[in-house]
């Protein structure tokens, strides 16, 4: 520690000595340059803080619109609130200096999904998934992606995406929903035996889940259709 102190002391002394030997004009130039750099960094820090403060306010307002949309009973009101939330999330994401765009990106994808703009929602959620694979919202992004494929009748992709959820996020509360999605898509593909096995797996693994009751009803329906 003493050696480090002596080393730094010697270096600082050398720098001071060099500065003393430098001409007055150069010293003034160096000082002005240092002041200019300090002013620029301060201005940038103030600007970034202002942008992030604005983004935080927009996020809170967008979150309130998103919640109102989910609670709305009328379809028109629901779509209107989702649209208002969407515009705010897009505004946040358009700001270069915003530090945390993670939640805004996820909720933008959710808004687009709820608005029925599946292609745009898919792009946004895929971007979220590629950047934030280990995030809290990652399983939710994955199951929304699977649902989008299902809505677009791309059942093979939907099944593959649903099946990734138990593998990637085995502790997630969404696993039973994912298994139900697998069975549902298999049935829509006409793969009745595979669908029945998937329903039975769901019942076996999650006997206390709400999805278990749906699976039992679907098995009865499959057997009645034989």
What tokens appear for 114 in the block? 């709820």
Residues 105 and 213: their CA atoms lie apart, in Å, by: 34
In a domain, 126, yes or no: no
Determine contact, residues 115/82, Cβ cutoff 8 Å: yes
pLDDT per position as a tens digit, 160-180: 999 999 999 999 999 999 999
Please tell me whether residues 110 and 137 are part of one structural domain: no
Q: How confident is the model at residue 47 (pLDDT cuts 50, 70, 90)?
A: very low
Q: What is the CATH number of the domain that holds 179?
A: 1.25.40.10
pLDDT recorded at residue 82: 96
State the sign of the Cα–Cα–Cα–Cα dihedral 128, 102, 181, 116: negative
Say whether both 147 and 94 belong to one domain.
Answer: no
Q: Is residue 32 scored above 90 in pLDDT?
A: no
Q: Is the pTM of this model over 0.85?
A: no
Q: Are residues 137 and 223 in the same domain?
A: yes
pLDDT at 55: 74
As a whole number, mean pLDDT of residues 220-226 equals: 83
- Same domain, yes or no: 94 and 150: no
Closest CA to 123 of 137, 141, 136: 141
- The answer to the question of residue 210 being in a domain is yes
Residues 6+ apart with CB under 8 A from 103: 59, 137
Take residue 117 and report the two structure tokens written for it.
Answer: 């703009």
Task: Give yes or no: residues 91 and 140 share one domain.
Answer: no
Mean pLDDT to the nearest integer, 14-19: 56
Same domain, 160 and 224: yes
Nearest to 92 by CA among 104, 80, 109, 107: 104
Residue 80 lies in a domain: yes
- Residue 93: inside a domain, yes or no? yes
How would residue 33 be classed by pLDDT, with cut points 50, 70 and 90?
A: low
Cβ-count burial 14-28 (b if 16+ within 10 Å, e if not): eeeeeeeeeeeeeee
- Is 46 in the same domain as 78? yes
Same domain, 92 and 165: no
User: Which of 55, 85, 115 is at the close of a domain?
Assistant: 115
The token pair that represents 218 in the structure block: 């679907």
Phi-psi region of 178 (alpha: psi -120 to 50; beta: other; left: phi over 0): alpha
Q: In terms of domains, do 161 and 109 share one?
A: no
User: Tokens 């745009």, residue?
Assistant: 120
| Mean per-residue pLDDT, 22-47 | 58
Q: Is 124 a domain residue? A: no
pLDDT tens, residue by residue, 132-156? 988 999 999 999 999 999 999 999 9
192 CB-near residues (< 8 Å, 6+ apart) = 186, 222, 225
CA distances from 72 to 75, 76, 115 (A): 7, 9, 14
pLDDT surpassing 80 at residue 203: yes
Q: What is the number of structural domains in the chain?
A: 2
Q: What values do phi and psi take at 116, rounded to 5? A: 80, 10
What is the token pair recorded at 145? 């992606």
Domain end: 54, 80, 115, which one? Answer: 115
145 and 63 co-located in one domain? no
> Which of 36-40, 91-95, 121-125, 202-206 bottoms out in mean pLDDT, i.e. has the lowest?
36-40
The residue segments making up the domain with residue 99 are 24-115
Do residues 111 and 188 both lie within one domain? no
The four Cα atoms 173, 175, 180, 185 give a dihedral, to 10 degrees, of 130
Is 7 within the bounds of a domain? no
Domain boundary among 64, 85, 115: 115
Answer yes or no: is 76 within a domain. yes
Q: Do 137 and 224 belong to one domain?
A: yes
What pLDDT is attached to residue 225? Answer: 77
13 inside domain: no
Is it the case that residue 43 has pLDDT exceeding 70?
no
Supply 69's token pair: 């949309």
| CATH label of the domain that carries residue 63 | 1.20.58
CA distance 70 to 194: 34
């Amino acid at each position: 520690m003493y050696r480090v102190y002596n080393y730094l002391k010697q270096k600082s002394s050398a720098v001071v000595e060099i500065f003393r030997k430098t001409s007055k004009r150069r010293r003034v130039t160096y000082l002005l340059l240092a002041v200019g750099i300090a002013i620029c960094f301060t201005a940038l820090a103030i600007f970034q803080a202002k942008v992030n403060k604005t983004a935080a306010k927009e996020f809170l307002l967008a979150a309130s619109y998103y919640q109102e949309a989910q609670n709305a009973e009328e379809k028109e009101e629901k779509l209107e609130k989702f649209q208002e939330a969407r515009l705010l999330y897009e505004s946040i994401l358009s700001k270069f200096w915003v530090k945390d765009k993670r939640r805004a990106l996820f909720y933008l994808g959710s808004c687009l999904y709820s608005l029925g703009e599946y292609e745009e929602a898919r792009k946004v959620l895929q971007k979220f998934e590629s950047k934030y694979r280990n995030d809290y919202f990652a399983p939710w992004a994955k199951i929304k992606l699977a649902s989008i494929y299902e809505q677009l009748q791309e059942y093979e992709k939907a099944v593959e995406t649903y099946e990734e959820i138990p593998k990637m996020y085995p502790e997630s509360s969404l696993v039973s929903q994912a298994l139900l999605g697998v069975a549902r898509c298999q049935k829509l593909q006409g793969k009745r035996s595979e669908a029945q096995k998937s329903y039975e797996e769901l019942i076996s693994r999650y006997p206390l889940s709400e999805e278990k009751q749906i699976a039992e009803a679907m098995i009865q329906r499959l057997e009645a259709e034989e």
